[in-house]
């Protein structure tokens, strides 16, 4: 191991591809410029061991990467194999919980229907692609709201046909882009409205109420269970 002074670009040819997957050159420079000393040791096997004395990069927190320094010993960066293998089970269980709660509210209470088909893919997005723009609460809520409103309008005024099915989805996609509320699962809402011949009440139950429940549960699961920073923004 050797000390690399702050501000020095810590790279070698052999380690570059592996290193880039952990921190980009820009992040290394930024961290160094803030006064952190970076230690780099390389092996023939392209193992990279990084220890940061002060303030490890936030990019490493909650990302499945080993911490920079633990118990005074440098730790090899890279995804934790155990966590990586368990993630599909964890995400599957979380998705089951979200949809299960919505199903319970729909079938075991008299409050109304809280579940619609497009919520399944919304659940996947907030768990797996939680950092993406279209996984944020603002996009989830208004994306679903826009999609169902457009679907109901087409259904009420034009009825179902191959033309209205196509135009309703196209209109939803266009307005999502203009309004910056892109949420891919919500593009299915016009189809749901037309095929199921839903009424205006469908806007409240399940679209608005269900979206709110998904947002609340997604925040709780990501923050408390998965220890991740979600949402990245509220609007």
pTM to 2 decimal places: 0.67
What is each CA distance from 150 to 28, 38, 132, 133, 174, in whole angstroms? 47, 54, 24, 22, 11
Whether the per-residue pLDDT at 156 is higher than 90: the answer is yes
Whether the per-residue pLDDT at 4 is higher than 70: the answer is no
Neighbours of 88 (CB within 10 A): 10
11-15, 85-89, 97-101, 156-160: the lowest-pLDDT one: 11-15
pLDDT bracket for residue 235 (50, 70, 90): confident
Please give the span between the terminal C-alpha atoms of the chain, in angstroms, as a whole number: 45
**Which residues sit opposite 48 in a β-bridge?**
42
Whether the per-residue pLDDT at 158 is higher than 50: the answer is yes
Whether the per-residue pLDDT at 207 is higher than 70: the answer is yes
Query: What local confidence, expressed as pLDDT, does residue 85 receive?
Result: 83
Name the H helices within the chain: 16-22, 25-33, 81-107, 119-128, 137-157, 162-179, 189-196, 201-202, 209-220
pLDDT tens for residues 170-180? 999 999 999 99
Task: Kindly give, in sequence order, each residue whose CB lies less than 8 Å from that of residue 64, ignoring residues fewer than 6 positions away.
Answer: 79, 80, 83, 84, 87
pLDDT tens for residues 45-94? 344 344 434 444 444 444 444 444 445 555 444 556 666 788 899 999 99
Query: What local confidence, expressed as pLDDT, does residue 202 receive?
Result: 97
Mean pLDDT of 169-197: 98
pLDDT bracket for residue 20 (50, 70, 90): very low
pLDDT bracket for residue 165 (50, 70, 90): very high
CA-CA distance, 222 to 192, in Å (whole number)?
29
**Scanning the structure block, which residue is given the tokens 């307005």?**
175
Q: Are strands 2-4 and 38-42 parallel, antiparallel or unpaired?
A: antiparallel
């Amino acid at each position: 191991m050797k000390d690399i002074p702050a501000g020095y670009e810590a790279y070698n040819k052999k380690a570059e591809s592996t290193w880039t997957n952990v921190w980009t050159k820009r992040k290394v420079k930024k961290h160094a410029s803030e006064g952190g000393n970076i230690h780099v040791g390389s092996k023939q096997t392209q193992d990279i061991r990084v220890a940061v004395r002060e303030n490890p990069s936030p990019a490493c927190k909650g990302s499945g990467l080993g911490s920079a320094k633990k118990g005074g010993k440098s730790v090899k960066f890279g995804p934790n194999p155990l966590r990586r293998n368990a993630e599909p089970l964890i995400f599957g269980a979380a998705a089951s919980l979200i949809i299960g709660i919505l199903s319970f509210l729909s079938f075991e209470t008299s409050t109304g229907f809280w579940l619609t088909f497009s919520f399944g893919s919304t659940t996947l997005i907030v768990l797996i692609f939680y950092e993406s723009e279209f996984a944020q609460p603002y996009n989830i809520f208004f994306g679903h709201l826009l999609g169902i409103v457009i679907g109901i309008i087409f259904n009420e005024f034009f009825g179902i046909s191959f033309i209205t099915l196509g135009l309703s989805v196209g209109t939803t996609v266009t307005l999502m882009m203009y309004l910056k509320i892109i949420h891919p699962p919500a593009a299915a809402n016009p189809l749901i409205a037309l095929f199921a011949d839903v009424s205006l009440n469908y806007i409240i139950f399940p679209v608005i109420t269900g979206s709110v429940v998904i947002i609340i549960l997604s925040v709780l699961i990501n923050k408390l269970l998965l220890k991740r920073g979600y949402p990245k923004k509220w609007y």
